[in-house]
Each structure stands twice: as structure tokens, then as C-alpha cells.
């Protein structure tokens, strides 16, 4: 098979297609959609059987040439009687998957395109026998068994998926080392960056977001999911120790509600913001932070935001996440405690404009485009039997 053949992608993901949280799946599949047909199925919570989402939508991404069809797999939040809700969710899941199979097979028959099943969560290994794709891709971006409320079977699901996947893409060094033991075709693809997007934070024509204008400087800022991975005790201690610093968090609130932190006068939670608007907020940051708690969950993350911060010419202070330590030892300031966080942030505040320009230059060239093109070539070679 020549290496310019189009194929259809059916992707199942645990992440909603959200313009306020444009993560690895959106970055990768938006670019693949410039050449290939992409259907993206994601789960969304619903409160009752009568409010289940029933329709599919078309999502036009930042590239006019890329169109991703987005559909929803509804589920009931597992509160109260957990076993009952889990059983209901699996029935809903199976019913929706049956419709996915029919659509995918009809399109494959009409276009004579190979079908690639692209999975992000181990639980979706259950679709393999139903769909019978030509190729299975597992794009591993997290250690899912370590998440709060993860299903007890997650470890077994991932073991099966690693055994069945034709190609595994690992989103960071630690994940690569952990997964390569179980599949001979694992490839390291750390996250890239949309450099031009985040470099807009340094452009003279980019205006600071109105919400940031009322916040006193210096600003220590965070952009991303405000979830179980963050160290809220560290943030509370640091905000208390530095009443003259403003701590700003931007992103959706997921599974946590740090009321004590958000009640502090120098902590500002601004909620989720559209991806396209982020440079306007980051332009007002003096330091960018990655205040991850060191847990089983964060030991294998490779944060997308590291390169995004650097592209915006922002000095970065981070906890000692192994992948960040390995990839950016000379570009990021690291801390171990609230006291060393303060020292690291102070060093970042003192950086010269020349040093900030060096940080930005280091992010240039690490594009999502180069990464996705390499993924595309690997898939086509696999389909060709090379």
C-alpha cells in the first residue's frame, strides 16, 4: 500500500471535545482530520434517562480544512448505588457502540478505506470485538488506574488493550517505559505545541484580557484542568506566605472544590476560557506554575502546558514531575516544598527579558504538526504491512 492512502478513524475518548480545554486528543485528531475522516466519540454525564444527548455535532477546529464529527456517549454519574449506575452505564455504552459499528462499517464499505480504531481509555477495549477494525491505535496519555473513581477493572482493561493494540503511542517518557514491556510496537510521542498560538502572548497587538486587568501584579498563573492532580495545600500555603503575589487559576473545575483556597484574597479562579483566548490571559502572567502533587497519577504525566508556557516566554515553576525533570532540566525551576516554591518563583520573577526570549526559542520547532505527521506515517506503514 502506498503511503498516501486515506483511512477512516473512529476515536473513543474519555475527554469531551471542549474549546475551553484543547488537549492532546483534540490537537492530534484535528490535524489528522486534514487528511482523514475522523469520528470522535466522547462521554458526557447526564442526570436522567430523559435528558440523554441523542444528536451528533460537527466540530470545526482551528484549521478550516479539518472537520471532526463529534458524537456523545451518555453516562449517569456513579453516585449513590455505584453498582447499579455502573450496570446502567455499560448498557448505554453498548447500545451506543452498536450504532457506531453500523456507521463505521457503512462508511468503510462505501469508501473502501481502512478503518483505524483510536482509543484513549483502557475501558474501551470492549469495543474491539464488535468493530473489527483494520488497525488499533492506543494513544496513552495517562496512568488511568490512578485516577479518582477509576473502575476496578482498569488495570485488566489496559493489559488487554496493550496486548491487542497494533500501535501504542506513549505521551511521555515514563509512560513509554511502563508500556513498552507489554507491546513490541510502542512509540514515544511527547506532546507538541501550537507555538504560534501561544507566542501571541508576547505580540504587541495582543491585548490583556479584561479580567486580568483588575488583578494585582506579580501574577503566578496556571492554565489547565483544576482537578485532583494539583497540590492545593501547597497553593494555600504559598498564597498565605505571599499576600503581595496574585495566584490565578484558569480552567475547568473537575472533581474537586478547594473552597479554602478560592476564598483567599490573592487567589483568583477565573474558570474555563476558550482556547483561542488563552494568550490574552497569559500575557498578564509573570510566572507560570505547574503545582502538581507528586502521586501515582502525576508520576507518569507529561504536561502539555510546559511547552505552551515556554512558547509564551513565561518562566515556569514546577514540582518534580519526572518527565518534566527529564525533558526540561535547564528551562524549568523546580521545587520540593512551599518554601522552595517561593524561592523558585522569586527566581522566575527576577529573570531578564533575554532569558525569557531563550525560553521561548527552546519551544520553537516542537510542533504538533511534526508529531502527527510521524504518527500518520507509522500508521500507514503498519496498514501496508511494512
pLDDT tens string 302-341: 999 999 999 999 999 999 999 999 999 999 999 999 999 9
Q: Contact 193/307 with Cβ under 8 angstroms?
A: yes
**pTM recorded for the entire structure:** 0.86
| Distance, CA of 89 to CA of 112 (rounded, Å) | 33
Neighbours of 164 (CB within 10 A): 15
Which stretches of 214-292 are DSSP H helices?
232-241, 259-262, 278-282
Q: Indicate if the pLDDT at residue 65 is higher than 60.
A: no
Query: What is the model's pLDDT at position 88?
Result: 60
d(CA 252, CA 98): 31
Same fold, 8-192+367-383 and 195-363: yes
Cβ(331)–Cβ(359) under 8 Å?
yes
**Does position 31 have pLDDT exceeding 60, yes or no?**
yes
CB 117 within 8 A of CB 108: no
Q: In this structure, how many other beta carbons lie within 10 angstroms of the beta carbon of residue 329?
A: 9
Grid cell locating 105? 462499517
What is the model's pLDDT at position 324? 96
State the helix-helix crossing angle for 232-241 and 338-349, rounded to 10 degrees. Answer: 60
What pLDDT, on a 0 to 100 scale, did the predictor assign at position 82? 54
370: helix, coil or strand?
helix
Residue from 26, 38, 25, 168 nearest 116 by CA: 38
pLDDT, average across residues 118-131? 86
CA-to-CA dists, residue 86 to 45, 121, 124, 359, 377, angstroms: 13, 16, 14, 46, 38
Superfamily (CATH) of domain 195-363: Glycogen Phosphorylase B; (3.40.50.2000)
Q: How far is CA 237 from the centre of its chain?
A: 27
Q: What is the pLDDT of residue 284?
A: 98
Highest mean pLDDT among 54-58, 129-133, 196-200: 196-200
- What's the DSSP call for residue 216? P
336: which 3 cell numbers?
520540593
Q: What is the pLDDT of residues 81-100, one digit of tens each?
A: 455 555 666 666 666 666 76
3-state secondary structure 43-111: EEECCCHHHCCCCCEEEECCCCCCEEEEEEEEECCCCCCHHHHHHHHHHHHHHHHHHHHHHHHHHHHHH
Rounded to whole angstroms, the Cα distance separating 146 from 142 reads: 9
Residue 302 C-alpha cell reads as 507529561
In the three-class reduction of DSSP (H, G, I as helix; E, B as strand; rest coil), residue 120 is classed as coil
- Nearby residues of 143 by Cβ (< 8 Å), 6 or more positions away: 175, 178, 296, 297, 299, 300, 301
Q: Which three cell numbers stand for residue 315?
A: 518562566
Between CA 304 and CA 117 the distance in angstroms is 24
Domain ranges within the chain, ordered by starting residue: 8-192+367-383, 195-363
Residue-wise pLDDT tens digits, 205-257 = 999 999 999 999 999 999 999 999 999 999 999 999 999 999 999 999 988 98
Query: What is 8-192+367-383's CATH number?
Result: 3.40.50.2000
**Residue 258, preceding bond cis, omega within 30 degrees?**
no
37-45: strand order across its sheet: 57-60, 67-75, 37-45, 8-13, 115-119, 135-140, 167-170, 186-188
Average pLDDT of the chain is 86
241 or 365: which carries more pLDDT confidence? 241
Q: What pLDDT is recorded for position 108?
A: 59
The whole-number pLDDT of residue 364 equals 92
Dist. CA 326–CA 330, nearest whole Å: 10
Q: Is 224 left (phi over 0), alpha (psi -120 to 50) or beta?
A: left
Q: What percent of the chain has pLDDT over 70?
A: 81
Average of pLDDT values for 13-21?
A: 77
For residue 105, name the pLDDT band (cuts at 50, 70, 90). Answer: low
Amino acid at each position: 500500500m502506498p503511503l498516501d492512502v486515506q483511512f477512516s478513524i473512529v476515536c473513543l475518548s474519555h475527554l469531551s471535545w471542549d474549546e475551553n480545554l484543547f488537549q492532546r486528543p483534540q490537537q492530534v485528531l484535528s490535524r489528522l482530520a486534514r487528511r482523514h475522516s475522523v469520528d470522535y466519540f466522547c462521554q458526557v454525564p447526564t442526570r436522567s434517562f430523559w435528558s440523554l444527548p441523542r444528536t451528533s455535532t460537527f466540530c470545526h477546529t482551528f484549521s478550516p480544512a479539518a472537520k471532526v464529527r463529534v458524537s456523545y456517549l451518555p453516562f449517569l454519574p456513579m453516585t449513590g448505588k455505584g453498582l447499579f449506575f455502573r450496570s446502567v452505564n455499560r448498557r448505554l455504552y453498548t447500545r451506543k457502540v452498536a450504532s457506531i459499528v453500523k456507521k463505521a462499517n457503512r462508511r468503510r464499505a462505501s469508501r473502501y478505506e481502512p478503518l483505524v480504531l483510536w482509543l484513549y481509555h483502557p475501558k474501551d477495549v470492549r469495543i474491539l470485538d464488535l468493530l473489527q477494525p483494520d488497525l488499533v491505535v492506543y494513544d496513552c496519555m495517562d496512568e488511568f488506574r490512578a485516577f479518582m473513581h477509576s473502575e476496578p477493572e482498569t488495570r485488566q482493561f489496559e493489559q488487554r488493550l496493550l496486548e491487542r493494540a497494533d500501535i501504542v503511542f506513549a505521551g511521555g517518557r515514563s509512560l513509554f517505559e511502563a508500556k513498552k514491556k507489554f507491546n513490541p510496537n510502542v512509540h514515544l510521542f511527547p506532546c507538541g505545541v501550537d507555538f504560534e498560538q501561544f507566542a501571541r502572548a508576547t505580540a504587541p497587538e495582543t491585548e490583556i484580557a479584561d479580567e486580568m486587568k483588575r488583578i494585582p501584579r506579580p501574577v503566578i498563573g496556571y492554565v489547565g484542568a483544576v482537578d485532583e492532580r494539583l497540590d492545593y495545600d501547597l497553593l494555600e500555603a504559598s498564597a498565605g506566605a505571599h499576600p503581595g503575589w496574585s495566584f490565578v487559576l484558569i480552567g475547568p473545575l473537575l472533581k474537586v472544590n478547594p473552597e479554602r483556597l478560592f476564598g483567599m484574597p490573592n487567589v483568583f479562579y477565573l474558570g474555563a476560557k476558550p482556547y483561542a483566548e488563552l494568550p490574552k490571559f497569559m500575557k498578564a502572567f509573570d510566572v507560570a506554575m505547574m503545582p502538581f502533587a507528586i502521586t501515582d497519577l502525576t508520576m507518569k504525566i507529561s504536561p502539555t502546558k510546559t511547552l505552551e508556557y515556554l512558547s509564551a516566554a513565561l518562566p515556569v515553576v514546577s514540582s518534580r514531575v519526572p518527565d518534566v525533570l527529564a525533558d526540561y532540566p535547564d528551562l524549568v525551576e523546580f521545587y520540593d516544598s512551599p518554601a522552595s516554591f517561593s524561592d523558585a518563583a522569586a527566581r522566575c520573577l527576577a529573570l531578564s527579558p533575554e532569558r525569557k526570549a531563550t525560553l521561548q526559542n527552546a519551544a520553537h520547532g516542537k510542533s504538533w504538526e511534526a508529531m502527527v505527521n510521524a504518527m500518520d506515517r507509522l500508521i500507514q506503514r503498519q496498514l501496508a504491512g511494512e
